[in-house]
Every structure is written in C-alpha cells, then in structure tokens.
Amino acid sequence: MRDAPAGIPSQRRPLARWWSRHWHLFVFLTPAVVVYGMFMAYPLLSSLSYSVYEWDGFLRRGFTGLSNFVTVLTRWPYNERFWGALTHNTWFFVLTFAIQTTLGLFVAVLLAKKWRGFAFFQAAYFLPYTLSLVVVGFLWLMLLNPTWGMIAQGLRGLGLGEWVQPWLGQRATALTTVILVNAWGWLGFPMLVYLAAVQAIPQEFHEAAFVDGATPWQDFRFVTFPLLLPSIAMVTILTFIWNFNAFELVFVMQGASGSPNYATDLLATFFYRTAFGDPTTGGEPGQIGIASAIGVMMLLIIGFVSAFGVRFMQRSQTEY
C-alpha cells in the first residue's frame, strides 16, 4: 500500500487508520469472494465431505469413512458401471484429442495462409459450436435414424443401402458415433484457438527457416509445432476436463442410462442416475453418499490430470 498522506494525524487509532487505507479493497473484493465462495468453492469443498457420510435421501446420517468408495469400486452393479463409464470417458477423450490435434491442427495451419475465401471456411467450421448440445443431439438423432434419417436415405439413394446400420442402437458403434457427433459440434473451438496461435508466430521465423532450406514439413515440425505446444497443451487440458464431464449429448441421444445396455454410459450420467434416481428403471431413489464418492473420484481424476497438464504447459512455454 501507498503511505498515508502527510496530513493525517498519526495519533488516530490504528484500526481506524488501517480501515481508512483498506476499505476500498473490501468494496472491490467482497462481492466476488461472496458469490464465488458461496456458490462454487463451498459446494466443491463440501462435496468431498458428502462422500464420507451415509445418506438417507437428502438427510445425512452417520460417518462411514471410505465405505461409499468401496461400494463404488467393488459392489455390483456400481463397480461394473464405474469401470465401464471410466473406459467410455477415456475413449471419448482419446478420440476427441486425436481428431482435434490432427485434423484441427492441420486445418488451422492451412487457414493461417489467409487465402481468398478462408474467412468463409473459418466461419463455417465454427458455426456448429454455437448450437446447443440439445439441438446437436436431436439433429443427429434424426439424421442418423436408420429408417427415415437423411444419412440412411442418402446411402440408399447412392445404392449403398447395405451400409445403413442402427449406428446409435448397437453396442459396437453407439459410443463412437456419439463421440463423433460431439466432435462435429466442438472441433471449431480448438481449430480457432490453434489458428490464433499459428497467426501469433512472427513471420520472420518461417522466413528464416525457408532461407535455411527447410521444407514446409520441416517448417511445421521445427518452427510452428514447438511454438504451438502451449496452446495444444491448454486446449488438451480443457478438452480433458469437458470430456470427463460430458453429459448432455448422451442424456439427449441415449437417455440417462446410456443405451444400448450402458454402452454409452459416462461418469456424469452414472453420477446423475446414482444421485437423482434412475428414471429409466422406474425411479430408484437417489443415493447421495455413493454419488458423491463417484463425484470425488471424477474430481481427483480431473484435478490430477489438469495439474499435470498445466505443469507441462508451463514448461513448454517459449518467450519470443
């Protein structure tokens, strides 16, 4: 803090003096601390404590230690659902990551050339990102309908009728189809971030590389890519966080229990069913303790991976 102006008499009580120098900080900070503390920090912290109690509906009973966690990890059907959902979330992230760091990155590098018409392409790729996942889900539910959907009709029109499958209805294809639908609505975002990052690289770097005889691939591999690493790391962390929270698309397209037969069940849908009851099985009551244990494990996974990712991002940062 700044020193008090010389005119203020020093014999004033210290508390009053302290207050007169600091009151504006309270005015500035209190609203944010209250709103954030009450509606975000407090719920997140107390969700940790929810998981070590026994619950009767929304009433808290006795302390049970880690028994809710033991239930989730060892007792059927929770254990089967949990490992299933964890596997599905992992595949969700891996496939999304693979698409956005190959196709997304490649398109961003192309778009950075700023040729005529590229603004249109950029706007087109980003457009689905503005749609609500509810709309994305229902739109593709319709398009992928094996009887009346546009994709089935189109394939039949091309004489490829035998390619038509109930993509969302069979175990082998349902999850991957949902992930690809999600990628359709999401890819515009990583593309744009990568594009902004590519454009932020000074042109002289590329010129220097070409003067040294680099091929376009070498220019990408040794100039563009290393400078993009922080952006790639950041987008990957965000993707991981969102993919391990994914809920809407599966809820809308496959229902709360991830049909067919839990093939598209995710941690968030599993958590939702456990916490608020399963509407598809006739309304089994919610189990707050067990749901909280699932939530805490999601929190730990996300916390660890993103902390690790942030460290990687900081190390890959290059000043220029």
Which of 72, 105, 175, 197 is in the footprint of other proteins by CB under 8 A?
197
Residue number, 175 or 235, with CB nearest to other proteins: 235
Residue type, 139: L
C-alpha distances in angstroms, 120 versus 101, 110, 197? 22, 13, 19
Distances from the Cα of 199 to the Cα of 190, 205, 234, angstroms: 14, 12, 17
Closer residue to other proteins in complex, CB, 76/217: 217
Which residue from 39, 61, 122 is spatially nearest to 288, judged by alpha carbons?
A: 61
- CA torsion, points 135, 138, 269, 259, in degrees to nearest 10? -170
Residue that the structure tokens 């744009």 belong to? 192
Site for other proteins in 144-173 (CB under 8 A): 148, 150, 153-154
Q: What is the CA radius of gyration of the chain?
A: 26
Instruction: Name the one range near other proteins by CB under 8 A: 10-18, 112-120, 160-168, 257-265.
Output: 112-120
Q: Binding to other proteins by residue 58, rule CB under 8 A?
A: yes
Q: Does 99 bind other proteins (CB under 8 A)?
A: no
> Binder to other proteins among 53, 91, 184, 312 (CB under 8 A)?
184
* Binding piece for other proteins, criterion CB under 8 A, among 76-84, 86-94, 165-173, 188-196: 188-196
Structure tokens at 310: 């942030």
Q: How far apart are CA 128 and CA 111, in angstroms?
A: 18
**Least spacing, CB of residue 101 vs other proteins, in Å:** 15
Q: Site residues for other proteins, window 222-261 (CB under 8 A)?
A: 231, 234-235, 237-238, 241-242, 245, 247-248, 251-252
How far apart are CB 75 and other proteins at their closest, in Å?
20
Asked whether the beta carbons of 211 and 121 are under 8 A apart, the reply is: no
The span of 35-43, 63-71, 162-170, 171-179 binding other proteins (CB under 8 A) equals 35-43
Q: How far is the CB of 280 from other proteins (least distance, A)?
A: 13
- Of positions 215, 280, 314, 317, contacts other proteins by CB under 8 A: 215
Q: Pseudo-torsion of CA 86, 88, 90, 92, nearest 10°?
A: -150
Query: Closest CB to other proteins among 11 and 59?
Result: 59
Sequence-distant (≥ 6) Cβ neighbours of residue 317 within 8 angstroms: 230
Of 24, 159, 204, 319, which one interacts with other proteins (CB under 8 A)? Answer: 24
Q: Both tokens of residue 92?
A: 């969700």
Q: Which of residues 255-314 bind other proteins (CB under 8 A)?
A: 268, 275-276, 288, 291-292, 295, 298-299, 302-303, 306-307, 310
Q: Does 73 bind other proteins (CB under 8 A)?
A: no
* Alpha-carbon gap, residue 123 to 136, rounded angstroms: 18
The span from the CA of 64 to the CA of 75, in Å, is: 16
